[in-house]
A and B are shown apart, each in its own frame.
Chain A
Amino acid sequence: MKFSIRHAESVVGGFILLAAALLCGILVMVGANQRWFARNYYFHSRFQSGAGISPGTGITLKGFTVGKISKIVLNDNNTVDADFFIFDSYIGKVRKNSVLELATSPLGLGGGLLFYPGKDAERLPEHSYIPSMDFEDGKSIVERELADVPPRDDTLTRLLANINPLVDNINKTVVNVNKTVTTLNGALKGDGETEVGRIVKGIGSTVRGVNGTVADLDSTVAIVKTELPGLVERSNALLDSLKAISGNLEQTTAAMRDPTGLVPKLLDPKGSLKTLLDDNGVLFAKIDAMLSDTDKTIKNVESMTDTLKSSMPEITSLLAEGKTTLIQTQDVLEGLKNNPLLKGGIPERKTQEAAQPGYRDEDF
């Protein structure tokens, strides 16, 4: 026989008892949550209209439900009498000069009953009348600031106040996105006025500048190449002339060192002066040759100076352009490094292999 049939009574008893226990547990949970075992304190009030409230409508204090309406009745004066209760946990808030406000939504989305505790320390006894702000007594309490009424907090105004910054932010975002897209398009076209555009634009001009500089450098090198042999030749000639001058000066110095002296020689009729004056123009020829060499040397120096002078602006401009090119290249590289929109990086450089490899590269 199956266990459940053999012990049918126990199984069924357990089944029923467990169900009853669960039901009791659920009821206790619901009761505790819905304050079946808590005490409520009853009060009454009066309103101009009962629109938006009904029995069971919550009474709130700063967003917390502190009580509920238990009954509303239209009385003989065409005003609405309302009975309500306050939860025991909030009964300390019900003090003298407390007021009620019937708040209805301007959009017709229902309403609610707001409770404002009085500033007086004296507590109101149960079943007391608490005035509402629909009547003069309630208004008077609020005007005399005897109740703790928070500043007006119009929901629509608050919503609009919250929405306006949002709309502003959205507008700014849209404008920024638009501007970014325009900038990006301009930058990609290379005619933008922004940093990216200028960078892209600068790349072209820089490349053109580099090309021009390289061309200038080539022409300068060519000029230097052509001028160099002449310069060397002139320098050699200048050195020869200087050598000759140096030899002459050496001879002169040696002559001056002669102990017989220059003056006796000059004064001696058979001396140097006579020789000087009566040497068939040898001295003159020497002086003339010397002057001629000096003149030639000076001319060579002048020519070299002129050549250097004429080359100086080119060298200066070459150096300046080189410097500018390096700065621009650095900017471009910085821009490329910082720009997340330019993808792909720098392509790998391939070195051009020589068509005819050298003998040194071959393995023996």
Chain B
Amino acid sequence: MIRNLGAAAIRGAADFFYAIGFFFRVVKNGALYFRRGQVGFRVLVMQILFTGVQALGVSAIIALSLGAVIIIQGSSLLPQFGQSRLMYTILIIVITRELGPLLTAFIVNARSGTAIATELGTMVVSHEIEAYVSVGLDPISYLAAPRVVGVTVSMLALDIYFNVFGLIGSYLVARLIRPIEFNEYFGGIAAALTATDIVSGLLKCFVFGIIVSVTAVYRGFAVQRASTEIPVAGIKSVGGGFVLCILADAVLTLIYYI
């Protein structure tokens, strides 16, 4: 039993260090991606199309609904305490700082994380990866790096759209239910929104994008030979992505307030 426990610990540590090494290698390749010119550019474009453009509708609906709910609740509850102006602060905290990046990460993880893991897993099972290696193409550079960059860039863009829809578009939704002056609303938003909020939200999105994409790529490449491993890789990719995003969010928020 002790032997088994020790073997499991050694295997776990080896996997952990392998994952860390893989993570840094992917991130390094992703950072150097633009220096390599057109290598994998088409992959990057398609990744942004699938991850960013096609997720825009879902992201917009969630942002509109969330913003409208906050405005309606805030404008009916907060004036009772004489704190109407807090509505804008709450809106900024929820949409720009916290839920915006996190919900965007969840959307991307659920849509693209599984897709990347499944696609790479299928490529492993069908020996496509071996074919890339055999012709001298580094799978990390050609397959992983554009996906990581694409997912991260998509996350940043989606977060900006989420903010726009959540802060501005939701005003239109809320106006249908509760009349709020346009100047009053946007004056309040402009007064409450700071550059720190925007940078904080974008930083979280950047980190979440890397986490989601690297996790998906890692799980996709982790498939060995059986096609039954592919759905498992997708599930593990989504689960791991959620947990890591929430942990990273907690750490980043903690750092922000420290």
A interface list, Cβ under 8 A from B: 4-5, 8-9, 11-12, 15-16, 19, 22-23, 26-27, 29-34, 36
Contact = CB atoms under 8 A, between A and B. Distances in A.
Contact of B193 (A4, A5, A9, A26): A26
B137 interface: no
Nearest to A36: B195
B244 interface: no
Interface stretch (B25-33, B103-111, B153-161, B213-221): B153-161
13 contacts: A4-B53, A8-B49, A12-B53, A15-B52, A15-B53, A16-B153, A16-B157, A19-B160, A26-B163, A26-B193, A27-B195, A34-B194, A36-B195
Nearest to B190: A33
Contacts of B45: 8-9, 12
A303 B49 CA distance: 130
Contacts of B46: 5, 8
Interface residues of B, number: 21
Given A8-B45, A8-B46, A15-B53, A22 B194 contact: no
Chain A interface, >50% SS class: helix
Nearest to A7: B49
A24 to B, nearest CB: 10
Contacts of A23: 160, 198
A22 B160 contact: yes
Contacts of A32: 190
A135 B72 CA distance: 49
A16 B157 CA distance: 6
Contact of B48 (A15, A29, A31): A15
Contact of A27 (B48, B156, B191, B198): B198
Contacts of B195: 27, 30-31, 34, 36
B56 A33 contact: no
Contacts of A12: 45, 48-49, 52-53
B54 to A, nearest CB: 8
Contacts of A36: 195
B194 A11 contact: no
Given A8-B46, A30-B190, 7 more contacts: A11-B53, A12-B52, A15-B52, A16-B48, A16-B153, A26-B160, A36-B195
A290 B62 CA distance: 130
Nearest to B189: A29
B58 to A, nearest CB: 15
